[in-house]
A and B are shown apart, each in its own frame.
Chain A
Amino acid sequence: MAMADTQTGQDVRFRKEVGMPRLHKIIFVVLLCFLIALPFMVYPIFVMKVMCFALFAAAFNLLLGFGGLLSFGHAAYFGGASYVAAHAAKVWGFTPELAVLAGTLAAAILGLAIGSLAIRRQGIYFAMVTLAFAQMVYFFALQAEFTGGEDGIQGVPRGELFGLVSLQDNIALYFFVLAITFGGILALYRIVHSPFGQVLKAIRENEPRAISLGYQVNRYKLMVFTLSATFAGLAGATKSQIFQLASLTDVHWSMSGEVVLMTLLGGMGTIFGPLVGAAVIVTMQNYLATFGAWVTIIQGVIFVLGVLLFREGIVGVISRLLKRRL
């Protein structure tokens, strides 16, 4: 699929290295140090929100940027997991880490189910199928008993991590969230650079050839879809613990659109693009929250300009200028 073809032309020029390239190591270490210091300077809840969306966008990017599959229904896994995690923490009395785990598991199962149907179609149809199934999940969240309809699940207790550490304190919660999201992003990095990730890239570039080489293409597609849904679910489940809330916003199609926007803006098929895109979009929403519908309009404008003029995304451009894969 040509979605990320801006990358492929360059790959040849990059030096082959074993393990994580030094530049990536440096970026990850600097990022981690920065994030450890940040909650003492900025409102931690805001940073936690950015981190959740960064993981969400990175998970989405695994599917779009590296798998070449455009899902327009990722809100289903993000929001679905947030409902399950909220319900587990509030009604079943799960500790936070188990609640997040339950939500993530639910997203994985949902991803497996929807993915096995969606991969039967390609391209535009794939996008429409995923969107339609996500809408089905939305209607379910609207009508089911446990999801609380329009109100969502409110007042989810923050609980105690492993039954020991109270997460009432924002800083304690912050480091819990940091561990999950940073760990998630590193895991995604590992997946992309594994042999599995290489096969994905081959399928994206030339599916018939991958088939002729003996790869079970549909099995790979289903696996990457499920993985992407799982990590999206991890992000959503974590978000429900931060805001103590699971609501219809998280399963609505506009959320699916937002994660596409973050990935497009940051740079599809790049490692750090989704993180940058998430930070930019969440910050923008934060500052423009009082302007109501203007947020939607500006997001639409970014979409249009991004597609017409800026398909590489922010990190894609930087990567091209530095001649380094980012």
Chain B
Amino acid sequence: MFELLGIPPQVLMGQLLLGLINGSFYAVLSLGLAVIFGLLNIINFSHGAQYMMGAFVAWMLLNYFGIGYWPALVLAPLIVGATGIVLEKVALSRLYKLDHLYGLLLTFGIALIIQGLFRNYYGISGLPYQIPDALAGGRNLGFMFLPTYRGWIVVASVVVCFGTWFMIEKTRLGAYLRAATENPALVGAFGINVPRMITLTYGFGVALAAFAGVLAAPIYAVNPNMGADLIIVVFAVVVIGGMGSIMGAIVTGYGLGLIEGLTRVFYPEGSAVVIFVIMAIVLLIKPEGLFGRAA
């Protein structure tokens, strides 16, 4: 076997895979943020809490109702997405006429409430969630050992990201959405119910976060704080990529995950901050973000 700079390929590949998995979560979460931002012009601070809710709902479905992983993968995003729709109807929709920063403050408050409630009832020790039988174990690829579930995370996230991109960029519904992003008043004049579209978009973005949460449940302990720190990194990802383009959010997410993985191999101490350092560099060179439009 070859060695690269004294790093055995198994280690390198292992960390790259880990990076790719983190990247999958960054991609799905920043995609959700970008979708919401596009139409609502707010940054959804409760995204991390809603990701955590996705994992918890999957855990509850299994432990209280005996509903397994596969149905949960669909049900949990639907349930959490529904709570998002209620939230948009009751609270967020009142803020559109105000400064966008109020949306940030409101969703931050929501995040505190959600995290506090779950911490109150489930503690912070974390709850286990079994990997479904079909995805247990792993396979030897010759150059590395691939745990099946981790491979599945990457595949599932790519499919969801591609599906979302396709829906927004290539379908009629997506065309309405993009049009409403540009000029909601005009789209409304064509007889399209823009407020409802906004509500559903928020629900969809939240459902994406919850989907990521279900994917995460079997590999990370289901924990009320699991979204809080992650979301800050995702914010940095979003700043780096710029929220102007759907594809940009996806590519930046995976790319930064990989870079983080590489950093963990060559300079482990820096892995926690590498994304923030990249953010600083991007702010210096191209402040509007790699895929962003000048704001």
Is the pair A131, B112 in contact by a Cβ cutoff of 8 Å?
no
Contacts of A118 in B (CB 8 A): 283
Which listed residue (A1, A260, A264, A304) contacts B110, Cβ 8 A? A304
Contacts of A143 in B (CB 8 A): 269, 272
Q: A136-B273, A303-B108 are in contact. Are A292 and B120 (CB under 8 A)?
A: yes
Contacts of B98 in A (CB 8 A): 2, 311
The DSSP consensus for interface residues of chain A is: helix
CB interface residues, A 122-152, toward B, < 8 Å: 122-125, 127-129, 131-133, 135-136, 139-140, 143
Distance of A72 Cα from B98 Cα, bound (Å): 19
Is the pair B99, A2 in contact by a Cβ cutoff of 8 Å?
yes
Interface residue count on the A side (C-beta < 8 Å): 44
**Is B284 part of the contact surface with A, judged by Cβ < 8 Å?**
yes
**Is B175 part of the contact surface with A, judged by Cβ < 8 Å?**
no
**Is B42 part of the contact surface with A, judged by Cβ < 8 Å?**
yes
Is the pair A260, B116 in contact by a Cβ cutoff of 8 Å?
no
**Chain B: CB-nearest residue to A303:** B109
Contacts of B112 in A (CB 8 A): 257, 296-297, 299-300, 303
**Is A308 part of the contact surface with B, judged by Cβ < 8 Å?**
yes
* Chain B nearest Cβ from A76, distance in angstroms: 11
Contacts of A136 in B (CB 8 A): 273, 276-277
* Chain A nearest Cβ from B248, distance in angstroms: 14
Distance of A278 Cα from B277 Cα, bound (Å): 33
**Chain A: CB-nearest residue to B91:** A308
Contacts of A1 in B (CB 8 A): 99, 101
* Chain A nearest Cβ from B112, distance in angstroms: 3
**Chain A: CB-nearest residue to B240:** A132
Question: CB-CB contacts of A269-310 with B at 8 A, as 1s and 0s?
Answer: 000000000000000000000001111110111111011100
Is the pair A120, B238 in contact by a Cβ cutoff of 8 Å?
no
* Given A118-B283, A135-B236, 13 additional A-B pairs, CB 8 A: A3-B99, A3-B101, A124-B101, A131-B235, A135-B233, A139-B273, A296-B112, A300-B112, A303-B106, A304-B113, A307-B95, A307-B106, A307-B109
Chain B: residues with CB nearer than 8 A to chain A?
Answer: 37, 42-43, 91, 94-95, 98-102, 104-106, 108-117, 119-120, 228-229, 232-233, 235-236, 238-239, 269, 272-273, 276-277, 279-280, 283-284, 287-288, 295
Chain A: residues with CB nearer than 8 A to chain B?
Answer: 1-3, 70, 72, 117-118, 120-125, 127-129, 131-133, 135-136, 139-140, 143, 253, 257, 260, 264, 292-297, 299-304, 306-308, 311
